[in-house]
Amino acid sequence: MDIAATPNTPPKGTAPSRPATLPGDRRGKDNIGRMIRVDQAGELGAAEIYRGQLAVLKNQPCADLLKKMAEQEQVHLATFDEMVVERGVRPSALSPLWRAAGFALGAGSALLGERAAMATTVAVEEVIEDHYQRQLDALAPELNEESAGENAELQAVIAEFREDELKHRDLALENGAEEAPAYQILSQSVKAGTRLAIWLAERI
């Protein structure tokens, strides 16, 4: 296949459900607002996942690791909270759902054991990392337009957070994620749920 002819072809192994942009996708301010909305919702969900996991696993050896990752998610969330206010973005109307679903996923996976909690982290972080990469791809052309400065700030934030999410994934892998019972089923279910949440939070 001619790679140059398919610029949206993702790196091997990321298994996208769609390319970063499609003809007819929103551009400009609408698009940026949508990005910030879904990112704020996602970081809210992520913060709640770790809070749920910690509620169950607070006395286990992995608690320190969970706390460290939870603290970073709080920084991510606070950053998008600020951007939502500064740029007048409408937050996701489903925020209460992301909060509840995140906590339930965190606590539920932790009840299955530390490894299941780690497997959940790997699945969520892989989807989020891929989502952030798509946003970076979509932002590249926006940087040439009028609000290039603001968009460059968003781009830098997303790039930094994406690196953090990759570290979270790697830490979870180092801590036995793949040894979780029914790893593939758990992983695929969490990924499907996370992708659906992203799709909804972009729109609602």
Interacting residue ranges for Fe ion, rule: CB under 5 A: 43, 46, 73, 76, 165, 168
Instruction: Give the helix/strand (H/E) hosting 153.
Output: helix 148-174
- Tokens 């930094």 correspond to 160
In terms of DSSP H, where are the helices of the chain? 28-57, 63-86, 95-111, 114-142, 148-174, 183-203
**Cβ–Cβ < 8 Å for 45, 95:** no
* For Fe ion, the closer CB: 51 or 76: 76
Q: CB 194 → Fe ion: shortest distance, Å?
A: 12
CB of 161 to Fe ion, least distance (A): 5
Identify which of residues 46 and 138 has a Cβ nearer to Fe ion in the complex: 46
Give the residue at shortest CB distance from Fe ion: 76
Nearer to Fe ion, 43 or 114 (CB): 43
Tell me how far apart the alpha carbons of residues 109 and 73 are, in angstroms, rounded to a whole number: 18
d(CA 79, CA 156): 12
Work out how close the CB of 7 gets to Fe ion at its nearest, in angstroms, rounded to a whole number.
27
Measured from the CB atom, the residue of 32 and 128 that comes closer to Fe ion is 128
Q: Could you tell me the smallest distance in angstroms from the CB atom of residue 202 to Fe ion?
A: 17
**Tokens describing residue 10:** 């993702």
